[in-house]
Amino acid sequence: MNTPINIKVKVNGKEYKRAVEPRLLLSDFLRHDLELTGTHVGCEHGMCGACTVIMDGVSVRSCLIFAVQADGHEIETADGLGTEDALHPLQQAFMEEHALQCGFCTPGFLMTIIPFLRENPNPTDEEIRTAIDGNLCRCTGYENIVKAVKKASVKMAGKAK
């Protein structure tokens, strides 16, 4: 039992090959095996959204997926967004609008919003609220997050995302 499985996963454009235990969660694989700590882990029960990553273009909970299931798939995490000197427009907007305090929930919000804006580059406030209704934030009260998404959408409009 517990037979390790060889997997090949593309994360933020880079290919990784690893042997993993079947019970290893994708969230733990990213954080511990690949040392990509941009993905945060909160409830580990699929409820809070902190662990959200993008898998083949859609947002998913990485605490509800085993790493073996990511074999042959493409993952995007917050680590692959901007750098400190060149933030992604969405990160920049989060900073400017004070859309975070402790920042624990932030990577999950970012990775939820990015595919949302790819599909809906010009969202209304209502659509933004619906899009983020699977992410919990204990600090901000959400208002500034909605403002940041709005701001980023305006900035990103026209540019390829």
Ligand X SMILES: Cc1cc2nc3c(=O)[nH]c(=O)nc-3n(C[C@H](O)[C@H](O)[C@H](O)COP(=O)(O)OP(=O)(O)OC[C@H]3O[C@@H](n4cnc5c(N)ncnc54)[C@H](O)[C@@H]3O)c2cc1C
Task: Report the distance separating Cα 26 and Cα 91, nearest Å.
Answer: 24
32 binds another protein (CB under 8 A): yes
Site map for ligand FES, 60-99, x if CB under 6 A?
-x-x------------------------------------
Beta strands (DSSP E) in the chain are: 5-11, 14-20, 52-55, 58-61, 74-76
42 binds ligand FES (CB under 6 A): yes
CB of 76 to ligand FES, least distance (A): 16
Report helix angle 89-96 to 106-119, nearest 10: 120
Please pick, from the candidates 73, 79, 136, 161, the single residue that binds another protein as defined by CB under 8 A.
136
Q: Is 1 exposed, middle or buried (0-12, 13-18, 19+ CB in 10 A)?
A: exposed
Q: State which residue, 38 or 92, has the beta carbon closest to another protein.
A: 38
Q: State which residue, 140 or 153, has the beta carbon closest to ligand FES.
A: 140
49 binds ligand FES (CB under 6 A): yes
